[in-house]
Amino acid sequence: MAKLKDQNINQDALSKAAYSLFDFTKKEKSFLLIVCILVSVAGIITPYTYAAMWFGFMLAAYSAIANDSIQTIGTFIASNQNRKWYFLWLFMGLIFVGTVTYSWFRYDGDVSYQRLQVDGLDQAPQSFVFLQIAAPIVLLVMTRLRMPVSTTFLLLNVFTYKAGTIMGVMQKSFIGYLLAFIMAIIVWYVLEKFVTNYLKGKPRNYWYFLQWITSGCLWAVWIMQDAANIAVFLPRQLDVWEFSAYTGFVFLGLGVLFYVKGDKIQGIVNEKTRVTDVRAATIVDLVYAVILFYFKAYSNMPMSTTWVFIGLLGGRELSIALAKSKKLKKRKARLVRAYRLAKNDLVKAGIGLIVSLILALIINEGVRQEIFEMIF
């Protein structure tokens, strides 16, 4: 009887999984067709280095910013839903142009703020393999599934020729997650009474001004950290035409992203407590910007800003649950909700990390040899 019951449970689980897959393919027919076309083009274009370079860059530019939009412009979109999309686009787009232009002048053609000058990433690709071009397509699919995947892991790891660099990126990212989680618990536990007592009703106009300033600063700091994920396909020093193409394409891609209001992955931000309130969004952006700026100044080693962000949101939800609920029953319910949200984000980010490591091992012989030597 017990075996029969277990079999029924397994069959039910498989039926649900099969139905979910069927439902996804039915709803996303157009998207899956685009993915098939992109995969086909990637397979055809890979042997042609120059064309593959720009094709990979364009895929990486849109997929990376679309996935990471939850971290930077996600709260900005969520709390400005009543404003015209093109005003939001021009504001963030011009900040992008100004930030990368400074890096291009300051670092002799490098738009990554020297993130691509670290050992293991300092050499531009001389040729490409199919999986390197396909990595941004994998990221597009994961974004469509609302998975907050680390673009740093998924895009940079497939180009890293040293295992030590991968380990350095992972270490810095995990420390960032823990720091953001702890800092969020402290900040929101202290602020919860202030938020509850004073931030009531309709926000005053100056809050919108403050949020635009903090969101702009966060966006600029994020570009300093994660522009490397997009530029990794390109030469490490761009000439004026290459820089114009790089900047222009990303600027237009941002317009598409604002037009669709962040697309599917925006739901990860919207489901969190009170982020559609401009005051709460301002506090989230400010704390996140401070953490990213600290790590930018700490070292040139790239890091996953996604892991920092999900740590921040996870700690924030836990802190709100602890501070807001006086009754034990309500507190338990809120803690369970906070735990589930944090766990879901962490599991999805972990899947992205595993996928990136597998791709890195398949593509890079040097990485395989280093890991083999470390193990044996």
* Residues sharing a CB contact under 8 Å with residue 209, sequence separation 6 or more, in sequence order: none
Residue 155 has pLDDT above 60, yes or no: yes
Domain boundaries, the chain: 52-375
Tell me the mean pLDDT in the region 194-200: 64
Higher pLDDT, 117 or 278: 117
Q: Tell me which of 162 and 328 has the higher pLDDT.
A: 162
Instruction: Take residue 241 and report the two structure tokens written for it.
Output: 């035409």
Residue identified by tokens 């593509």 is 363
Three-class DSSP category at 239? coil
Looking at residue 65, its pLDDT comes to 79
The pLDDT score that the predictor gives to residue 264 is: 52
The pLDDT of residue 105 is 93
Judge whether 152 and 226 are in contact, CB under 8 Å.
yes
Cβ atoms 246, 100 nearer than 8 A = yes
Whether pLDDT at 281 is above 60 = yes
19-63: pLDDT as tens digits: 565 666 677 778 888 889 999 999 999 999 999 999 999 998 888
Neighbours of 309 (CB within 10 A): 29
More confident residue, 365 or 274: 365
Q: What sign does the dihedral 68-345-181-328 (CA atoms) show?
A: positive
Q: Is 71 within 8 Å of 158 (Cβ atoms)?
A: no
Pairwise CA distance, residues 49 & 126, whole Å: 7
**Rounded Cα gap, residues 336 and 333, in angstroms:** 5
pLDDT at 271 over 60: no
Q: What confidence tens digit (pLDDT) does each residue in 136-151 have? A: 898 888 777 777 677 8
Buried b / exposed e across 111-126, counting CB within 10 Å, b at 16+?
bbbebbebebbeeebe
- Please say if the pLDDT value at position 87 is more than 80: yes
Contact 195, 279 (CB under 8 A): yes
Q: With 0.75 as the threshold, say if the pTM is over it.
A: yes
Arithmetic mean of pLDDT over the chain: 79
